[in-house]
């Protein structure tokens, strides 16, 4: 009897997602994320606090909240922001990540 084994990860909110199955954001949501993050960082907030504020603003059950919480989790564990963005699958383009 064959058994299928697949790696599962658990996000910040306890929602299970395969590493290849990241959340999808609309272009409008990526634009909102970018503008708000830039504003918070220009105001002098540290990156982790700015990401926490974005989570609070995005609503508990939105895809944006899930993406931001995963990015925050990775940044807190020591990853660079660009690495955390890249790990989101196709949410952020290669061009966006390299900016």
SS3 7: coil
Mean pLDDT score, 57-72? 88
Q: What would the 3-class secondary structure string for 56-84 be?
A: HHHCCCCHHHHHHHHHHHHHHCCCCHHHH
Domains along the chain? 9-98 (1.20.81.30)
Q: Looking at 17-21, 44-48, 53-57, 69-73, which range is the least confident one?
A: 17-21
> pLDDT by residue (tens digit) across 8-26?
444 433 444 444 446 678 8
Token pair, residue 68, equals: 């931001």
CA atoms within 13 A on the CB side of 34: 14
| pLDDT given for residue 19 in this prediction | 44
Residue 48: closest CA among 25, 78, 92, 19 = 78
pLDDT of residue 7 exceeding 60, the answer is no
**pLDDT value for 5:** 52
């Amino acid at each position: 009897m064959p058994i299928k084994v697949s790696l599962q990860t658990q996000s910040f909110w306890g929602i299970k997602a395969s590493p290849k199955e990241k959340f999808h954001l609309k272009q409008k949501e990526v634009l909102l994320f970018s503008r708000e993050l830039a504003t918070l960082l220009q105001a002098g907030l540290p990156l982790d606090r700015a990401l926490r504020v974005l989570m609070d603003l995005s609503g508990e059950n939105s895809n944006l909240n899930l993406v931001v919480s995963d990015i925050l989790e990775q940044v807190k564990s020591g990853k660079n922001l660009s690495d955390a963005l890249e790990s989101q699958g196709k949410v952020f383009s290669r061009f966006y990540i390299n900016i």
